[in-house]
Structure 1
């Protein structure tokens, strides 16, 4: 009797803080090689900012993230925080967007991905009215941020990045165009 191998799941690994301002340089070709060396297949990168899609028969995104973090540190010589999410979760995040994404520019809408669901109390001290027209909404292990002038000028993004809000969580943010492309690349 032969045992059937499980079908691979397609994941997106979101690396935090690489290739920004000449620091933590991670060439995408080398990153693909690192993932292939871990036994992952169909490895593709998107942009230079740390988005890599791959297939794996393994089913625990947290284990995959820790393995990738270790491999990146061993290969490149510095730590890089990674979040790994599967294609269906990416699709669910995109589908649940509370803002009219089709009417906005990609630079105006961002999704912050969390390693686990943050308690709503973390955000209770933020006076959302003080930041209008910027707004945020919590989703499933995600936060949607509408910043009409872009992330670089967002006072709300700065407030959301305070240690009281993100302490103990692995977080990374992508603009809406990147989220949509990752959904497409994972085939979700």
Structure 2
């Protein structure tokens, strides 16, 4: 089965460095096949046999290798393709980022988040993704990853639309 792994908050500054060559070597050493990475923000595509706690095994190996916890979001190739196609039409008139939720959000918490005014941004949760417009640029988001995590109670990692679509294309090659 093909998986996409998204590492949370790596390579953003001087700390929490995870070189992609080292990530590929680590994943290959864990007997994952066809390991590929995309850009320096911690995106990996690989083949593996499905197992009960693949994410936990990978997170433990990452922490042992790099010396700090590295939360990870996993999607199957099928789930990734759905996410790549899943942006609601009413958001597509602007630049969009996708916040990948590590776990399913509680519907009550999603509704509570709707009460937060993040104008001019618009957003929608579809499955385990939060699609969000970025009219003032990603650095100026009012609905940041930290705000999403705090309100929804799940770990989040954000990728821009170009990254999402590029990884989807990688799945077909």
Q: Same fold (TM over 0.5)?
A: yes
Counterpart contact for 2:104–2:127, Cα < 8 Å: yes
CA RMSD of aligned residues (A): 2.2
Q: Are residues 1:75 and 2:65 paired? A: yes
User: Alignment partner for residue 179 of structure 1, among 149, 164, 171?
Assistant: 164
Shift of 1:101: 7.1
Shift of 1:75: 1.1
Structure 1 residue matching 2:104: 3-state secondary structure: coil
Please name the residue that 2:81 is paired with.
Answer: 91
Shift of 1:115: 2.2
Structure 1 residue matching 2:172: 3-state secondary structure: coil
Counterpart contact for 1:138–1:144, Cα < 8 Å: yes
Instruction: Give structure 1 stretches of 5+ with no counterpart.
Output: 1-8
Please name the residue that 2:3 is paired with.
Answer: 11
Please name the residue that 1:43 is paired with.
Answer: 35
Report the TM-score when normalising by structure 1. Answer: 0.83
Shift of 1:20: 1.0
Report the TM-score when normalising by structure 2. Answer: 0.89
Please name the residue that 2:101 is paired with.
Answer: 114
Q: String of CA shifts for 1:10-43, please: whole Å, max 9, x gaps.
A: 1110000111111111111010000000101111
Instruction: Give structure 2 stretches of 5+ with no counterpart.
Output: none
Structure 1 residue matching 2:117: 3-state secondary structure: helix
Structure 1 runs of 4+ aligned residues shifted over 6 Å read none
User: Alignment partner for residue 59 of structure 1, among 50, 54, 75?
Assistant: 50
Counterpart contact for 1:128–1:135, Cα < 8 Å: no
